[in-house]
Amino acid sequence: MRAYIEFAKKKFQNQIAYPMEVFMGILNTVLTVVIFCSIYRALYGEKSQVDGITFSMVATNFLISLGLSEVFSFDEMFLQNKYRDGTISNELLKPVNFKFRMLAENIGSSGFKLLFHFMPAVLFTCCYTSICKPKSPESLLLMAVSVMLGYLVLWLLSFIVQTWCFWIFSTWGIMVMKNVVVNILSGTMLPLWFMPDSLRKIVAYTPFQAIYFVPVQIYLGQVEGIVLAKSLLSQLLWIGILYFIGELFWRQGIRRVVVQGG
């Protein structure tokens, strides 16, 4: 465990070395949230709510989902680059689990973005528009738990796609398609409240709403009691399913590794 903590710390420290990137990350998050909020403010017009959803709820959804999407960004070419340049053979010889090493580094990078990208964006957005307060301190705590589970769901989806580099030349195109699907079906670009009921029912059987939308619902107090427990259990269930799939692809793919040269 100590080795993985060191990987995470090293990645966190590496991010500090690029102050301009920190500034651009904050600016990117703020501008994205402001643009989406401005669009929906215009769509709402003089209406106080649409289908029971207030503008403040929409702004809160965008702040959390778009902000966390910046925090939940990974180096999705990491495995492919290691495989194509042959250095994966050296990685596999190290006395650490390669997958957990990847996860540790991503957590270190995400921790940095949470503190230096997301939190400043939250402060700025709160000054720009009205944001809903958490339903209760318990809701805020449970939302934090849900955010961590959602992080693992998205990371496992990314890892599964990364393992496809063992069979195809480049996973870049598939990764872009995956990100588009995640942005649409997780409620990042369009709050799931406004999706047709038929599509909402389909999305409910996918892992996508477990990434951002479930934490948003918990924060707003829209799910409580048994429904809240089911939402958290669904996140855990998807983590288990995706871990099994990722492990299957990893074990099959690693058998195909052949490194020539010296």
Model confidence over 194-220: pLDDT tens digits?
888 888 888 889 999 999 999 999 999
- pLDDT of res. 226: 93
Q: Tokens representing 218? A: 């918990």
- Strand-pair partners of 50: 53
Contact 40, 138 (CB under 8 A): no
Q: What is the DSSP letter of 54?
A: E
- pLDDT of res. 119: 85
Write the pLDDT tens digit of every residue in 29-38: 888 888 888 8
- pLDDT of res. 61: 87
Write the pLDDT tens digit of every residue in 91-126: 888 888 889 989 999 999 898 888 888 888 888 878
Q: Tokens representing 192? A: 């799931």
- pLDDT of res. 260: 56
- pLDDT of res. 45: 80
Q: Mean of the pLDDT values across residues 134-160?
A: 93
Model-level pTM greater than 0.85? yes
**Residues, the chain, total?**
262
